[in-house]
Amino acid sequence: MIHKFDMKLSALVAAMGLAALSSCSDDVLNGWGKKGNTTLTASIDDARMESRTCIDPKSYSGNVTGVLWTPGDKLGVFGDASTKNAQFINVEETKNVAKASFTGNLADGESPLYAYYPYSADNDGKDPSALSGPSALSGTVSAEQTFSLSTGLLTDDWKYGTRPPKGSTSSGYEFQMNHLFALAKVTVDATGSPVEGETLESVSVTVTPGEGTDVRRINGAFTFSAVNGNYQLTGPAPEGSNTTNMVWSDKKPALISGQSYTGYLTLIPNVMKGDKFTICLTTNKHTATYEVMCRVNFESGAIYNFPLTLTTLAEKMKAQYGTEPTITDISTEPGTPDPSEPTVTTGTFTACAFNVDGLPSLINSDGPGSSGTTKMAGIANNLGWDIIAASEDFEYNDKLVAGLTNYSHGTWRGKVSISQAFGSVADTDGLNFFWRTSTTSATGETFVEYKDKEGDLYNGANTCIKKGFRHYEVTVDAANNVVIDVYITHMNTYSGDGNTESNAYVKAVLSQLRQLRDYVLTKAAANKRPAIIMGDTNMRYTRHDIKKNFLDVVAAYDSNAGYTVSDPWVEFHRGGVYPSWNSKSLMIRAHANSDGLSSDIICADDQRGEVVDKIWYINVPGAEVQLKATAHKNDVDNFKKSTSSVTFSGATLEDANGNVTENQSITYDKVVGYSDHFPVVTTFQWTKTTTTTK
């Protein structure tokens, strides 16, 4: 929970301040100060000035989380020659960044020394090093806090930081900020419980001491030092200071089966091992209250998990259900669980299927080439996906590897050459697997070649290389030993006519799907681990009977034992309804063309349309680790190279609600990417449940 920012001061901004500020919108600057003036004055009545930061849903795992800066965040800054509490404002236009530039005004010749977040005018003239008394910096942690499911915005998130000895750069001063308090991560899953389908109104957390009579104050007024982060609660403990309530600032979540909802609370870590947590969950119809013992001493700068999986409470729920509840362990901090009591830990990771279009420019003149591959790799490296399944990694592997500096990778099996024109088969699969070394690791690389394939050099080139799939054992959280099976693949292309196996290309790719399916299921039964399958499948639900050959077989595996398989694209962008086989193709706008409009449907955006790059995941019944997709997208925006205006007439269109109309005219900006495929990205939440028996 540490974040850096560049602080551009008056002496440095004099030469660049106009350029830096003019890049912000007039709406952002309006009410803060004159445009182009490096001194911005706060307007506490302006809602846009509300101090806040936000959770990054991609950056946390286990007991680590990412908290990002948002535009307009305000810092209080003290210089090395005065105790002036200067307001500095984040002038970045980009939302949600870990490193942001803040501008403000100090006295001439003065350098910033201490900073805290969020800025408060109440701290004007105070001593940044004082811990108590009227000269100490002051703040408050609210008893009722809001959290936004859509934006991740937090309230009451206090930070402090000092300038390191070598904390100045040519563009300003670089500070490292630390968190003053702790965060509680509350995850609610009502699947199969009595409150499933109801609307979640709020969740409250109350702490009472396990021994003694002292009140455990987790909110309220405090004083603190911006020098070292020490804090001191002020005044007698008011009523309710041991209870903090979380409500949603935007749409309240409906407790839908198969989905979980996560919110965050700031807690003053005045909590000790042996204390009692009372957690109250309120829906639009019921209130459920239950208790659990705390197993650790809370610390500043840490995040503590409260996984409220309500199926474990169904038989013993209080309130309307009239019986005592139970609860799983609420912390991923080290501790000794009670005998026979389950311990539940959760975390997230991201997975990307990415065809990098790496055939040599001699035969792929429209491909990304050397420079485009370098650009794609740099973008992907900055986005920081945890695992990447690359396909068509042939000619420009060196550029791909050089750009993905934060990643390790599997075996590169080589290029393709003109020799394939004379009937030889290149000993390469064009696949590669990349994992972000700071978050994941991978072992056990296994390659399996497909038995069937169709199409020579001039008809898809499927027989020119050794197409197949690879298997890796991937650790997505080392601290909790969370291991999953990952399969990456590039399958047979489509050509000809028809969507049945009378078409040799359809027959070949469905044979490959069945071979991959059987291998994955056999391994899953033996390993008792979830599996992710991703890559360029060259299949569409509308063109290939994936349901019959894959989905239905997984669901019925081992005499209907409870194996599940899901496609996050269908979950998040098709309302959970799989497209019908042997129907019109669902085209994304970025790739739609005028060919065959009578057999294609142009979708309302690039998320509802179907692409051949797939990510599927399989859960094994009774396994310790289970996966759930929490987000999915076809990443057109980050990999846009250019646009071109496109006009169609006589087109079949699908709107955002799934309504289809024919014979329509449409004009839009078609997006051109670096590769002929845009990356497909899924965010997964893992849940691990372990039980120690007596």
Tell me how far apart the alpha carbons of residues 56 and 439 are, in angstroms, rounded to a whole number: 15
Which of 302, 336, 370 delimits the end of a domain? 336
Q: Give the per-residue SS3 of 496-512.
A: CCCCCCCCHHHHHHHHH
Instruction: Kindly state whether residues 281 and 366 are assigned to the same domain.
Output: no
In a domain, 131, yes or no: no
Residue 140 located in a structural domain: no
Question: Which one, of 143, 276, 259, 288, lies nearest residue 201 by Cα?
Answer: 288
In a domain? residue 406: yes
Mark whether 614 and 677 lie in a shared domain: yes
How high is the pLDDT of residue 656? 86
Judgement on whether residues 322 and 432 belong to the same structural domain of the protein: no
Residue with tokens 């239905």: 552
Q: Sheet holding 441-449: strands in order across?
A: 441-449, 468-477, 482-490, 531-536, 613-619, 564-566
- Asked if residue 638 and residue 489 are part of one domain, the reply reads yes
What CA–CA distance (Å, rounded) separates 295 from 300? 16
Pick the closest to residue 305 from 319, 294, 318 (CA basis): 294
Asked whether residue 143 is assigned to any structural domain, the reply reads no
Is 269 part of any domain? yes
- The three-state DSSP-derived secondary structure of 247-300 is EECCCCCECCCCCCEEEEEEECCCCCCCCEEEEEEEECCCEEEEEEECCCCCCC
d(CA 638, CA 677): 13
What is the reported pLDDT for 660?
A: 93
Longest dimension (CA), the chain: 87
**How does strand 342-355 pair with strand 387-391?**
parallel
> 311 is in which domain, residue-wise?
183-336
10-residue mean pLDDT series, the chain (694 residues): 31 20 19 23 28 56 58 87 82 74 81 89 91 92 87 85 64 77 86 82 89 82 92 87 88 81 88 87 81 82 78 44 32 39 85 96 91 97 97 97 97 84 82 96 96 90 94 95 97 94 97 98 95 98 97 94 95 93 93 72 94 97 93 96 90 90 90 96 93 48
- 576 and 618 share a domain? yes
Q: Which of 336, 360, 386 is the last residue of a domain?
A: 336
Q: Is 683 found in the same domain as 558? A: yes
Domain co-membership, 329 together with 372: no
Q: Do residues 661 and 572 share a domain?
A: yes
Q: What is the DSSP string of 549-570?
A: IIIHHHHHHHHH---EEE-HHH
Last residue in a domain, options 336, 367, 387:
336
Spatial CA neighbour of 357 closest among 394, 411, 320: 394
Residue 65 and residue 187 in one domain: no
In a domain, 125, yes or no: no
Within a domain: 444: yes
Looking at the fold, whether 487 and 546 belong to one and the same domain comes out as yes
Residues 162 and 216 in one domain: no
β 200-208/112-117 pair status:
unpaired
pLDDT at 213: 63
609 within domain boundaries: yes
Question: What pLDDT sits at residue 316?
Answer: 39
| pTM for the full predicted model | 0.56
